[in-house]
A = this chain, B = another copy of it.
């Protein structure tokens, strides 16, 4: 798949810079040391896919730069707040090439800084002065928490229930893409049908994004990922490829039993996990999971008929391509 990633980022650079500036202002904290750490995190890397989606969804209809930029900054801060709490929960040490807050501060401070960033994102959502935007924002936050709770409370069971996996990734990932696209369209004064299509585009894109992420976690080498391959399995989280692989195994096989022990956390030997990762790669499960992601990409593409401007539709297609081809 050939991608002109530069086009969409180049076209939107000025607006994305405004978003970055707004995020940075909102994340200002009165305490110098902590403030520095928080600024490092909000300014570090990340492709800003969610704000970009929101801005493009706005440009597809009537662009209101101040409001769209405000909402996009809110979405980015909500994402950052959620990463701060996530990293604390997972005890991650590195994020976006920076040391995580929890590698530098005690848990209490990290909880409070995450809460502070949630608060700032809510203030930005309210500053759009649009009650529908605020309502999308609040329900998105609810969906994200639901997805994360599902991952924590039910992922550590090797289940064949794909529905549960889809609910989980909808909550933890797709809901924010869905909300970003919806907010952009709402602020842009789109009709209800147009808003629904844009929300659907964001949902499909987000589902594809997470499935690709889960495939990469098993496919890439440790040096490409910057963390061990099969990191999800090591955390006891069974993702789609692992579920597809499990379905291919007889119920009483030694392979299935090993996989079950890994997911519940009873098997933590790196060599055993490495060999299971190898077997998943050889089983065709990664290709089967990628095909599911491709279906979401196709569905997302179909929803773009409501976007009449050729340039914007093309940017949205680029964004979709970037999402699924992220690390090939």
Contact = CB atoms under 8 A, between A and B. Distances in A.
A108 B114 CA distance: 13
A108 B87 CA distance: 10
Contacts of A107: 88-89, 107
A111 B130 contact: no
Q: Name the interface size band of chain A.
A: 35 or more
A220 interface: no
A122 B122 contact: yes
A129 interface: yes
Given A134-B134, A142-B120, A153 B115 contact: no
How many copies altogether? 2
Of A88, A113, A130, A141, the most chain B CB neighbours within 10 A belong to A141
Contacts of A118: 115, 118, 141
Interface stretch (A144-152, A191-199, A251-259, A308-316): A144-152
A126 B134 contact: yes
Contacts of A148: 112, 115
A130 B131 CA distance: 7
A133 B80 CA distance: 25
A86 B87 CA distance: 19
A166 interface: no
**Interface of chain A, main secondary structure:** helix
A190 B90 CA distance: 47
A71 B306 CA distance: 37
B146 A123 contact: no
A147 to B, nearest CB: 10
A120 B85 CA distance: 17
Given A131-B134, A134-B134, A111 B111 contact: yes
Interface string A82-96: 100100111000000
Contacts of A144: 115, 119
Nearest to A116: B145
B108 A152 contact: yes
B153 A116 contact: no
Given A34-B153, A109-B152, A111-B88, A126 B138 contact: yes
Contact of A89 (B89, B112, B138): B112
Nearest to A136: B126
Nearest to A29: B149
Contact of A115 (B85, B125, B134): B85
The 8 closest A-B CB pairs, nearest first, are: A89-B108, A122-B138, A119-B142, A116-B145, A119-B141, A126-B135, A126-B138, A123-B138
Interface of A: 29-31, 34, 82, 85, 88-90, 107-109, 111-116, 118-120, 122-123, 125-127, 129-131, 134-135, 137-139, 141-142, 144-146, 148-150, 152-154
Given A88-B111, A116-B146, A126-B135, 18 more contacts: A34-B149, A82-B115, A89-B107, A89-B108, A90-B108, A107-B107, A109-B152, A112-B152, A113-B149, A114-B115, A115-B141, A116-B145, A118-B118, A119-B144, A122-B122, A123-B142, A129-B131, A131-B131
